[in-house]
Amino acid sequence: MARKMSINELEDQLLCPICLEVFKEPLMLQCGHSYCKACLGSLACGLDQQLLCPVCRQAVDCSTSPPNVSLACLIQVLQNIGPSDPSQESCPFHHNPLSLFCEQDQEVICGLCGIIGAHRQHKLVPVSAVYSRMKEELSGLITELQQHRRQLDEHISKLVNNKTRITNESDVFKWVIRKEFQELHHYIDEEKASFLESIERRAGHLITSIESQVTQTSDALHKLQEMESSLEKLNNESQLDFIRKYGSFPSRSEFPPQHPAEGTFSAISFKPGFHQDDIKMTVWKRLLRRVLPAPESLTLDPVTGHPLLELTKDNTVVQSRSLAQRRGSNHERFDSNNCILASKGFSWGKHYWEVIVGTKSHWRLGIIKGTASRKGKLNKSPEHGVWLIGLKEGKIYEAFNNPRTMLPLTARPQRIGVYLHYEKGELTFYNADSPDELVPIYTFQAEFQGKLYPILDLCWHERGTNTLPIVLPTPTMIQRARAPSPEPSQL
């Protein structure tokens, strides 16, 4: 490696000042500087004239310039060590090697083009230096393109993965929808079969009764026909035979009963036991009981309520008061937070109930573990067995998760639906203002254990604000078609 570097350094010292290539047939001027014979001839337009040395600007006589034999021998040694590239291009004007690069014209030129040609006074750089610089620039561009390509590949990969995930998730939802509708179809088919079976049973009883009556009437008709035939035969007898046989025939009282003549026949109407217009409503009510849990009939437990809370309307309406009520202290009562529990708890199954909060500006509601502490400040988080959503300042909705989650509600619901699926570990809150639909607000995911109780937190009020009550509506109020929920103060 050291020998190769020294040769390169030596080659740099053996470059013609005109063409910047290794000397070819070097001639030495009187001033001591050497040039290629062809370069010197091109510069002096002949070797018998005088010119100024391009290096030191001394006037010299070209006719007295002898060959630089030592330099030629040294160059020959270098050529034997590393032969030149036979494919190297030459200048089309001066036939010298293309060794310079004109930065201004972006052209490869020879040394004479830079001294006497059209590229005089231009910025000239050796081809090797330009080549190295351009190689570096190209390498950087390739690296940048490769990085950009990798970024695009990663983006495409993410898009493809996202597409695959969406396809898989949509397939799952399609499967769930098909399954749910299969169950609904199964329910409807069962209801249809029940209605049809009821119709067939009722109609069968009526038809059997009618067929029995037809059989009895047919028998009576047959007897009447036989008696009629006998009487007609008697009517054709001679006078003496007629008299002898007349007494043996049955009297009129022995005739079979003639129901139509006696007026005992009455048309029978088919009555299925329901009106045809009630079929959809009846099926809907039955499906509602099978698909969704019936609304819970909840009341509030006065034993658990803070002393400032007052219960009315059979413990379904709770309201904060300025003065505390006289109530005994017990481990079940909240003593710091303005809370109260429902009297009914849940440890399994599906349950749905509604809470009317009206236009109350500050409230919280949800569920709490029966074992959660009710003394001191309530730790409002699932980690402490409390799952709540709430409103504060009349405009900020939040779920008390860890961390708290802001709920971007555009409407202000006055009736909140709460759906607990204990085994599935889901607690979902709904906007239940509309009588036709439930709009999801937020869902907690948890592994429920032990008994869970619905909880209401009326929050504290200052100077008469936030004193509106919270109401637990009865199932009748929930199920019936209703107008927008009334204010709790009107209930």
Least confident of 40-49, 58-67, 292-301: 40-49
Residue 485 confidence (pLDDT): 42
Provide the pLDDT for residue 463: 61
Residue 346 has pLDDT above 90, yes or no: yes
Q: How far is CA 138 from the centre of its chain?
A: 44
Tell me the mean pLDDT in the region 15-38.
Answer: 86
* Spatial distance between the Cα atoms of 67 and 88, rounded to a whole number of angstroms: 25
Same-domain pairing of 115 and 185: no
In order, the DSSP letters of 298-322 are --B-TTTS-TTEEEETTTTEEEE-S
State whether 172 and 93 are in the same domain.
no
Average pLDDT over residues 187-208: 85
What pLDDT, on the 0 to 100 scale, is given for residue 452? 97
pLDDT tens, position by position, 292-328? 667 888 999 999 999 889 999 999 999 988 776 666 6
Considering the domain architecture, whether residues 117 and 170 belong to the same structural domain is answered as no
Asked whether residue 151 carries a pLDDT value surpassing 90, the answer given is: yes
What is the structure's pLDDT at 482? Answer: 43
Confidence check: pLDDT of 232 > 80? yes
User: Residue 362 burial by CB count (10 A; 0-12/13-18/19+): exposed, middle or buried?
Assistant: buried
- Which pLDDT tens digit goes with each residue over 402-446? 899 999 998 899 999 999 999 999 999 999 888 767 889 999 999
The reply to whether 406 falls in a domain is yes
Q: What is the pLDDT of residue 186?
A: 87
For residues 96 and 185, membership in a common domain is answered with: no
**Shared domain check, 348 and 400:** yes
What is the total count of domains within the chain?
3
Model pLDDT, residue 360: 92
Domain assignment of residue 161, yes or no:
no
Using alpha carbons, select from 281, 286, 448 the residue that is nearest to residue 351.
448
Question: Are 446 and 368 in contact, with CB atoms under 8 Å apart?
Answer: no
CATH number, domain containing residue 54: 3.30.40.10
Specify if 134 maps to a domain.
Answer: no
| Rounded Cα distance, 387 and 404, in Å | 11
User: Is residue 291 a part of any domain in this protein?
Assistant: no
Q: Positive or negative, the Cα torsion across 479, 480, 484, 489?
A: negative
Do 465 and 332 share a structural domain?
yes
Neighbour count for residue 84 (Cβ, 10 Å) = 12
CATH code, domain with 411: 2.60.120.920
Picking from 202, 235, 262, the residue at the C-terminal end of a domain is: 262
Q: Please report, as a single letter, which amino acid is at residue 455.
A: I
Is residue 142, in this structure, part of any structural domain at all? Answer: no
Q: Are residues 317 and 445 in the same domain?
A: yes
pLDDT for residue 481 is more than 50 = no
Domain that holds residue 225: 166-262
Domain edge (last residue) among 262, 295, 323: 262
Q: Do 468 and 331 fall into the same domain?
A: yes
16 within a domain of the structure (yes/no): yes
Residue 365 falls within a domain, yes or no? Answer: yes
Is 274 domain-assigned?
Answer: no
Residue 158 has pLDDT above 60, yes or no: yes
Residues 109, 173, single domain; the answer is no
Same domain assignment for residues 108 and 214: no
**Structural tokens at position 4:** 């190769």
Of these ranges, 103-112, 375-384, 460-469, the one predicted with the greatest mean pLDDT is 375-384
Domain boundary among 227, 262, 297: 262
**pLDDT class for 48, splitting at 50, 70, 90?**
low
Residues 110 and 15 reside in one and the same domain? yes
Asked whether residue 478 falls in the same domain as residue 347, the answer is yes
pLDDT at 383: 94
% of the chain exceeding 70 in pLDDT: 81
